[in-house]
Structure 1
Amino acid sequence: MRSFFKIFFASLLALTVFSLIVFFVLVGLVKGFAEKSKPNVEDKSVLVIDLSKHFPEHESSLPLAVLGEERLPALFDVVRLIREAKTDKNIRGIYLSVDGNGNGYASSDEIRTALLDFKASKKFVIAFGNTVSQQAYFVASAANKIYINPTGGMDWTGFSVELPFLKGTLEKLDIQPQIFYAGKFKSATEIFRTEKMTPENRLQTTEWLGDLYNYFLQQTAVARKLDTATLYRLAAEAKIQTPQDALAANLIDGTKYDDEVKDEIKKDLAIGRADKLNLLSINDYNDAVNVRKSGKDKIAVIYAEGDIVDGDGSNTQIGGETFRALIRKARLDENVKAIVLRVNSGGGSALASDVIWREIQVARQQDKKPVIVSMGDVAASGGYYISCGADSVFAHPNTITGSIGVFSIIPNMQGFFKNKLGITFDGVSTAPHAGAVNVYRPIDEKDKALLTASVERIYAQFKSRVAAGRKRDTAYIESIAQGRVWSGEDAVRIGLVDRLGNLQDAIDCAARMAKLSDYGLREYPETESWLNNLLNKKKQEPAAMMKEEIGEENYRIVEQLKKIKAMTGSVQARLPFEIIIK
């Protein structure tokens, strides 16, 4: 028996050691392959940017491309890569693929501004698409030449927003939403309590959508040397039905197939028609060059993208505790002289928003470090809550912001459980209000009063935070609050935002406030090692598989249902749902 155990444990030890050796050899091979596969930037290269891809605010923790996953650069990396390409002697131009646009209008504005700056180098930017949406055209209009497939299409019909309403669905399911909200413009609860837009929501949506559309027309008019009245009329009268219509209206420069566009580029580069065209994707260029600025003194750039949630959250959320710790880490770092908070969020938990707001105030007041906010596509409700206390706030003209208001939803599902499922509930409690707030029975009038008071109290706190940060009295803040949504352009006019500008403008402002001339950037959340990414891949697969099976549009509905579940039972400072502009 003793001999058996001796052999058994010796074999187990040998197997363990062998497994560890194999594991580390594989790690070395994969890492070595990744390092050796660093692409070269050949002479007469053309940088390719596929606009249909979504460039996140922060580089997500995706496994390496060598492991079968596409590794996209972050939005600001795309901007920096375009800036690098401007002075890279091996990059002769940019080929912009505009079959769709996976980025919001403010994010697109960042890319578009970088392309306009790139053109100052006298290098070309050529945009090509088979079917071009308005959102894709917004970026394409920065190009020297825009081409569309002769049998393709182009959308030029104006902007629209469609909102879903679930009141009828809840009635069919015998569910009462039980809603508590502060702010007559706080449209987040409308999807549950009405069958169409309220007059207040229609008014605010008409105004901010009009602002975004006017900016779109103004930028197009400048780029294409047209007037906005003509551009508006083309949409109002549905004049653009084919690529040929777009060409006649001077919205594009020609109708060509992809091979014809490539031949034109070869001719410009003095390359033979049969010779290879060096097309370098933005992904490969990101691997080939280093665009991260270095220096002893640092500016911390913290990317806050996604729903604001209590606790740690995931890598696609803004967890209150996670981001409190990130800001704390930056403010206690002696080398960090200023903080830039990049916000792209429609909000979420009011409590988590306040936790983050508090840490920003500690950084500014106790650690004496300037905090600058740069707003992305959306920085509204809780997204504005965490922004309002900064030293200076930047937004794009087409940023969606404001929405200073809160709400809470506790659905009464008693009828659903009893009438649809045959389930009833009963129990005991030790005090009148114990267990009063749940989904199994209606809330009585006294508890409704308590919940209303809680929502009003948090709304008052929200307004006081904004009043202090914007140096305005609460009466004025109330006049522009009420849950109302504003465009970035309007937000500057009414004092919710200090100035229009992109992320680089915000970083430049931070450098001026901290009196820095030579500095590097320290970016948070820090990108995980490729090994951790590989080990965490399984966590990301279910969502990715579902998205692939049901499609991007249907997956968004699933995401909205998850958000509705997250809203239940806590006070929320958030936009109602993802705003999709068509």
Structure 2
Amino acid sequence: MKQFFKFVLATIVGFILIGVLGVVLIIAIVSSAGDQKPQVENNSILTLEFKNPITERTPNNPLADLGILGFDKDKTIGLNDILTNIKKAKTDSNIKGIYLNESYMQSGQATTEEIRNALIDFKKSGKFIIAYSEVYTQGFYYLASVADKVYVNPNGYFEFGGFSSEVTFLKGALDKLGIEAQIIKVGTFKSAVEPLVLTKMSDANRLQVSSYLGSLYDHFLAGVSKSRNVSKDSLFNYANRMSIQYPQDALKYKLVDGLKYKDEVLNDLKKRTGVDLDDDLKTIEISEYTNSTSETKDEESGSSSSRIAMIYASGEISGGDGDDNSIGSEKLSKALRTARLDKKVKAIVLRVNSPGGSSLASDVIWREVALTKKVKPVIVSMGDVAASGGYYIACAADSIFAEPNTITGSIGIFAVLPNMQKFFNDKLGVTFDGVKTGQYADLGDISRALTPAERAILQNQVNHGYDVFTKVVADGRHKTQDYINSIGQGRVWTGSQALKIGLVDRLGNIHDAVKSAAKMAKLKNYKIVNYPEQESKLKQLGSGFTAEVKTRILQSELGDNYQYYDQIKKVTKMMRIPQARLPYNISIK
């Protein structure tokens, strides 16, 4: 009885603490609403430091905004605000330059490309960019290479060894568990299912990975070559021979401009801004600059009643509403309908950053894009990846923009149905029995293997899905279905490759897509309005807090191995019928 009362008392105290915390959060949110915008002092430096994954849009995260529970240390800023702030800083007389501080670029290559191009444009103002890091990954170096001066710690680390792509295969683990992955697919290159049934890459998959990885690497070398005035052949040889193992090697081969400690770099910045060496630098972080009093006056933020709708489609595709990090067919379809029916919206830019997902949900979204195109211009801007279902929802647009290093294509369909009979019988000692009213009443039962007749039914469904997929792509791209099939089959392409084979229309960034939309709608002045609407801070306190805490705990415990946990979790979600998804996650450091 004594233990019982202890438990009850602890529970009551817990509820009280949760209630108090909730009240504190609400009060903090209300009070923060009246906070003044940060002031940008004269002779300030805009600091760019990317410690967190870069999302398409800045999350509406109340915990980060309020600066409580330590979440403010990991404040995330989206690509939308990064690009806006760099553009704003270009004409802000109070900003004298940009300081690229050591960062681990947790972003796809197309996202890095967008930021890099924005920095190149910033330099046209005549303002400086200084980059410094103790550790240069290839991703951060690609960004930093556009700086006026690139510095590295004398005893730091400089990575320059080329690109690699790795796939984690799970067949051995499934075999030990007694689980068989029953695969139904269309597409020689549709290799999303390979980790479940093979122990190494197929020849077809190895061919496509070698092709697109080579394309990505060639673009990387070309960019660094132009920025650093070092030939591509030399850069390739440096990497291939592992010539750059220490910071001194990077200086020797002209990839950096100096070996400096951070205090020396800060003194350099003080001299550039006329600050006494004994005084503090005037800096503002890019996340804070978003809410600063400085404003950009251009055609995208004027007082015109004409609007261009920016509709974000980011994450895996499924039915339902989704959230800021996933695409729900219901929510995105509603956003498209809203923009289509709004007479003030004259054109739409659909920003796609998705590896695909449910083929049915993709088709539902595609239908809304096709209907919208009949009413007003629809331009697609591809982010890091717009593949499989991500390409499905894009192909009906009037025009498609991609970065050279966007991953796209992967036109194919697959289904995975696990047979867990041995797992249940041999590992758990569990058996099943039952009755049914029809031969196929239990089709899809995971407690047994598919019969040949059942497999044929599922194969026909997947074949039908692929036929529909290739037809909508053929219609959208004004090609024959036979041609789309020849470049389809689940094959993955880069943006540069996709341009050559007609899957995209132009290489360009999100700003280029907006300009194209404005031109098609014959607009000179317009506002950008964003869809779907992000959840309110109060709502996110309930829906997002638990998930974010769980993710942070796992990332803290697993470290770099979190990517494998995340990959396994995504593989288990694939076991439903059917899927139009990119074969695997692409991670290039």
Matched with 1:301 is: 310
- The 1:220/1:559 distance shift into structure 2, 3 A limit, reads same
Q: How far apart are the structure 1 equivalents of 2:537 and 2:448?
A: 49
**Superposed displacement of residue 23, structure 1:** 9.1
Q: How far apart are the structure 1 equivalents of 2:562 and 2:41?
A: 40
Moved more, 37-46 or 209-218: 37-46
**Superposed displacement of residue 314, structure 1:** 3.2
Superposed CA deviations along residues 393-439 of structure 1, whole A, max 9, x for unmatched, are: 00000000000001000010000111111111111111100012121
Matched with 1:342 is: 351
Matched with 1:214 is: 218
Equivalent residues of 1:98, 1:137 under 8 A apart:
no
**Superposed displacement of residue 569, structure 1:** 2.6
Q: Is residue 476 of structure 1 aligned with residue 483 of structure 2? A: yes
Equivalent residues of 1:51, 1:136 under 8 A apart:
no
Matched with 2:57 is: 58
- The 1:318/1:210 distance shift into structure 2, 3 A limit, reads same
Q: Is residue 359 of structure 1 aligned with residue 363 of structure 2? A: no
Matched with 1:557 is: 564
Equivalent residues of 1:73, 1:286 under 8 A apart:
no
Matched with 2:149 is: 145
Q: How far apart are the structure 2 equivalents of 1:153 and 1:25?
A: 44
Equivalent position SS for 1:318 = strand
Q: Is residue 96 of structure 1 aligned with residue 110 of structure 2? A: no
1:573 to 562, 565, 580: 580
- The 1:240/1:418 distance shift into structure 2, 3 A limit, reads same
**Superposed displacement of residue 504, structure 1:** 0.4
1:407 to 393, 414, 417: 414
Equivalent residues of 1:363, 1:369 under 8 A apart:
yes
**Superposed displacement of residue 25, structure 1:** 10
Equivalent position SS for 1:207 = helix
1:33-48 alignment, distance < 5 Å? 33-48=32-47
Amino acid at match of 1:390: A
Equivalent position SS for 2:180 = coil
Equivalent residues of 1:55, 1:72 under 8 A apart:
yes
Q: How far apart are the structure 2 equivalents of 1:186 and 1:516?
A: 41
Q: Is residue 515 of structure 1 aligned with residue 522 of structure 2? A: yes
Matched with 2:493 is: 486
Q: How far apart are the structure 2 equivalents of 1:234 and 1:34?
A: 53
Q: How far apart are the structure 1 equivalents of 2:421 and 2:207?
A: 36
Equivalent position SS for 1:523 = strand
Q: How far apart are the structure 2 equivalents of 1:536 and 1:199?
A: 44
Superposed CA deviations along residues 134-157 of structure 1, whole A, max 9, x for unmatched, are: 011010011101000100010010
Amino acid at match of 1:215: H
1:224-243 alignment, distance < 5 Å? 224-243=228-247
Equivalent residues of 2:366, 2:394 under 8 A apart:
yes
Amino acid at match of 2:254: N
- The 1:29/1:137 distance shift into structure 2, 3 A limit, reads closer
- The 1:271/1:391 distance shift into structure 2, 3 A limit, reads same
Amino acid at match of 2:312: Y
- The 1:30/1:449 distance shift into structure 2, 3 A limit, reads closer
Q: How far apart are the structure 1 equivalents of 2:577 and 2:553?
A: 28
Matched with 1:534 is: 541
Q: How far apart are the structure 2 equivalents of 1:499 and 1:314?
A: 29
Amino acid at match of 2:248: Q
Superposed CA deviations along residues 474-493 of structure 1, whole A, max 9, x for unmatched, are: 11111100000001000000
Matched with 1:4 is: none
Q: How far apart are the structure 1 equivalents of 2:22 and 2:321?
A: 31
2:276 to 256, 272, 288: 272
Q: How far apart are the structure 2 equivalents of 1:449 and 1:526?
A: 43
Q: How far apart are the structure 2 equivalents of 1:224 and 1:118?
A: 17
1:327 to 336, 358, 362: 336
Amino acid at match of 1:157: G
Superposed CA deviations along residues 61-98 of structure 1, whole A, max 9, x for unmatched, are: 31152242334332021111101000000000000013
**Superposed displacement of residue 27, structure 1:** 4.7
Q: How far apart are the structure 2 equivalents of 1:230 and 1:24?
A: 61
Equivalent residues of 1:154, 1:240 under 8 A apart:
yes
Matched with 2:8 is: none
Q: Is residue 318 of structure 1 aligned with residue 318 of structure 2? A: no
Amino acid at match of 1:397: P
Equivalent position SS for 1:283 = helix
Equivalent residues of 1:34, 1:66 under 8 A apart:
no
Q: How far apart are the structure 2 equivalents of 1:172 and 1:326?
A: 46
Matched with 1:162 is: 166
Q: How far apart are the structure 2 equivalents of 1:61 and 1:434?
A: 46
Q: How far apart are the structure 2 equivalents of 1:444 and 1:210?
A: 42
| RMSD of Structure 2 on Structure 1 (CA) | 1.8
**Superposed displacement of residue 26, structure 1:** 7.8
**Superposed displacement of residue 30, structure 1:** 4.0
1:285 to 282, 286, 289: 289
Superposed CA deviations along residues 20-75 of structure 1, whole A, max 9, x for unmatched, are: 9x999985664334532521100111000113332210222311522423343320
Matched with 2:112 is: 108
Q: How far apart are the structure 1 equivalents of 2:576 and 2:65?
A: 41
Superposed CA deviations along residues 482-519 of structure 1, whole A, max 9, x for unmatched, are: 00000100000000000000000001000011111110
Q: How far apart are the structure 1 equivalents of 2:151 and 2:444?
A: 59
Equivalent position SS for 1:334 = coil
Give unpaired runs (5+ residues) of structure 2. 1-18
Q: How far apart are the structure 2 equivalents of 1:23 and 1:166?
A: 43
Q: How far apart are the structure 2 equivalents of 1:501 and 1:200?
A: 30
2:193 to 189, 196, 220: 189
Equivalent residues of 2:314, 2:324 under 8 A apart:
no
- The 1:23/1:413 distance shift into structure 2, 3 A limit, reads closer
Q: How far apart are the structure 1 equivalents of 2:555 and 2:491?
A: 35
Q: How far apart are the structure 2 equivalents of 1:509 and 1:40?
A: 35
- The 1:34/1:242 distance shift into structure 2, 3 A limit, reads farther
Identity of aligned residues (%): 46
Amino acid at match of 1:293: S
Superposed CA deviations along residues 423-462 of structure 1, whole A, max 9, x for unmatched, are: 1111111110001212110010000000000000000100
Equivalent residues of 1:181, 1:408 under 8 A apart:
yes
2:126 to 95, 98, 122: 122
Matched with 2:82 is: 78
**Superposed displacement of residue 315, structure 1:** 3.0
Q: How far apart are the structure 1 equivalents of 2:176 and 2:22?
A: 56
Equivalent residues of 1:59, 1:527 under 8 A apart:
no
Equivalent position SS for 1:287 = coil
Number of aligned residue pairs: give it: 560
Q: How far apart are the structure 2 equivalents of 1:501 and 1:130?
A: 32
Amino acid at match of 2:516: C
Amino acid at match of 2:377: P
Q: How far apart are the structure 2 equivalents of 1:547 and 1:35?
A: 35
Equivalent position SS for 1:569 = coil
Amino acid at match of 1:269: T
Q: How far apart are the structure 1 equivalents of 2:551 and 2:36?
A: 26
Give unpaired runs (5+ residues) of structure 1. 1-19
Question: Normalized against structure 1, the TM-score is what?
Answer: 0.93
Question: Normalized against structure 2, the TM-score is what?
Answer: 0.92
Equivalent residues of 2:58, 2:80 under 8 A apart:
no
Q: How far apart are the structure 2 equivalents of 1:25 and 1:197?
A: 53
Q: Is residue 246 of structure 1 aligned with residue 250 of structure 2? A: yes
